[in-house]
């Protein structure tokens, strides 16, 4: 079987499954559940290998000219196999097709480092 990018249905359950398999990044059940609910109304793309969604990405449009990668995650046993690169390519195509000129992604600092750090 080949590898494909597909627009997904069943988004919330896939989100819970993939994020739940990544406790080093997504350890709080409330965050996983909020993410699963938040992506229901967004376009969500999946990287599919041998009929299994191994990675997903949710995109959020910010008219008039930006698309944000709201969530991107890969099942741990599939890390380093190119799924993320293919999803980023799909995000770029989506942005171009929808007239966006900017693709963004936001990340969070590890817990405990959110406060500014000053040296004396």
Residue-wise pLDDT for 12-54, tens only, equals 999 999 999 999 888 889 999 999 999 999 999 999 988 889 9
Would you kindly state where each structural domain of the chain is located, as residue ranges?
Answer: 3-105
- Quick one: average pLDDT of 68-79? 94
Looking at residue 44, what is its pLDDT? Answer: 93
Residue 120 has pLDDT above 50, yes or no: no
Phi, psi dihedrals of residue 24, rounded to the nearest 5°: -70, -25
CATH superfamily of 3-105: Gcn5-related N-acetyltransferase (GNAT) (3.40.630.30)
- pTM of the entire predicted model: 0.82
């Amino acid at each position: 079987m080949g590898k494909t990018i597909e627009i997904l249905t069943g988004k919330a359950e896939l989100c819970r499954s993939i994020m739940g398999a990544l406790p080093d990044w997504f350890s709080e059940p409330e965050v996983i559940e909020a993410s699963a609910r938040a992506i229901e109304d967004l376009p969500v793309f999946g990287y599919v290998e041998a009929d299994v969604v191994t990675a997903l990405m949710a995109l959020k449009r910010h008219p008039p000219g930006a698309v944000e990668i709201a969530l991107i995650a890969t099942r741990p046993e599939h890390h380093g196999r190119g799924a993320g690169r293919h999803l980023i390519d799909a995000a770029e195509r989506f942005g171009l097709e929808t007239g966006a000129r900017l693709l963004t992604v936001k990340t969070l600092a590890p817990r405990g480092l959110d406060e500014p750090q000053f040296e004396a």
